[in-house]
Amino acid sequence: MTPLRSIPCGRFAPSPTGPLHFGSLISALGSYLEAQARGGRWLVRIEDVDRPRCRPEYADDILATLEAFGFTWDGEVMFQSRRTARYREALEVLKRQGVVYPCGCTRAELAGAPLGIDGAPRYPGTCRDGLPPGKVARAWRLRVEGVVDFVDLVQGPQHQDLAREVGDFVLLRADGLFAYQLAVVVDDADQGVDHVVRGADLIHSTARQIHLQRLLGLPTPQYAHLPVAVDAAGAKLSKQTRAAPLDVRDPVPALVAAARFLGMEPPSCRLASAEFWAWARQSWCLDRVPRVMSLPLPDYSR
């Protein structure tokens, strides 16, 4: 019997640590238009797994901004803060495989370790073969080995040696919260996401996510990492750097600028919102996205 082809599915997964800004609009627009072009569903997931950094009012604000900008998503919005039981199940599967171990190291103890690819200390392996005497379990780490290769639809072939470039990474944190890397893998699989379009700042996380998918027997989505907007000093626009929130009263200039940023050629910046969306749905082409990791933030305020 021929298996039923499943419906393509993309997603936008903001963390509610601040209002939406131009950088997040690029990911929202790229993932939305790609899902539409594939004739697929587009989901919104609020990534509030790191609760101390998130605020419910930002989640409301993000959803209201998406709506005001003319985005429509399929189904209910998923909240990671309600999914702890599923993350725990995944950790149990990994425990049974013997690929995770309790770690008693504190942040201060790791501070001197050489840095991994994402700028965090690379775990030196202190608790890898059992907790040394005097240490108590604080977190759970995944024992990593091997290399991960994948072809990113925008950035091209990628290769990462997990042990050398990242090291054993945390899945359950010392504060009892699950880590983003585990949550995102479980959620993408549970939601049937088959293509992930997001900012290139996350490309170095992808090998970890593919490694986890393989251990958990989950399918690997296709990945497309879009350039991120950087300020004059080359720093990524982020809520942490207080990037200006989007103006919900006047969405089109920001939408047009985001479309240009992604390699599209909007006919004018004076479109009505419905005209913008009709044009954008017809004109989107992932192949036109600039194949670079970052681009300067355009000034669309004038």
Q: Does 94 bind ligand GLU (CB under 6 A)?
A: no
In the complex, the smallest distance separating the C-beta of residue 184 from ligand GLU, rounded to whole angstroms, is: 5
Q: Give φ, ψ of 294 to 5 degrees.
A: -150, 160
CB 274 within 8 A of CB 298: no
Among 9, 13, 100, 203, binds ligand GLU (CB under 6 A): 13
Residue placing its CB nearer to ligand GLU in the complex, 43 or 94: 43
Q: Does 198 bind ligand GLU (CB under 6 A)?
A: yes
Among 8, 9, 10, 15, binds ligand GLU (CB under 6 A): 15
User: What residues numbered 201-230 form the site for ligand GLU, per CB under 6 A?
Assistant: 202
Residue placing its CB nearer to ligand GLU in the complex, 153 or 252: 153
User: What residues numbered 30-49 form the site for ligand GLU, per CB under 6 A?
Assistant: 47
How many Cβ atoms are within 10 Å of 171's Cβ, its own excluded?
Answer: 24
| Residues facing residue 193 across a β-bridge | none
Show the tokens assigned to 172. 């359950």
Residue placing its CB nearer to ligand GLU in the complex, 22 or 101: 22
CB 17 within 8 A of CB 24: no
- Half-sphere exposure (CA, 13 Å, Cβ side) for 124? 11
- Distance CA(11)–CA(41), nearest Å, equals 8
Residue placing its CB nearer to ligand GLU in the complex, 14 or 19: 14
Residue placing its CB nearer to ligand GLU in the complex, 131 or 293: 293
| Residues in Cβ contact with 105 at an 8 Å cutoff, skipping those fewer than 6 apart | 123, 126, 127, 135, 138
In the complex, the smallest distance separating the C-beta of residue 23 from ligand GLU, rounded to whole angstroms, is: 9
Q: Does 66 bind ligand GLU (CB under 6 A)?
A: no
In the complex, the smallest distance separating the C-beta of residue 276 from ligand GLU, rounded to whole angstroms, is: 24
Kindly state the helix (H) or strand (E) to which residue 158 belongs, with its residue range.
strand 156-161
**In 3D, which of 13, 108, 115 has the Cα closest to residue 54?**
13
What are the residues binding ligand GLU (CB under 6 A)?
13-15, 47, 184, 198, 202
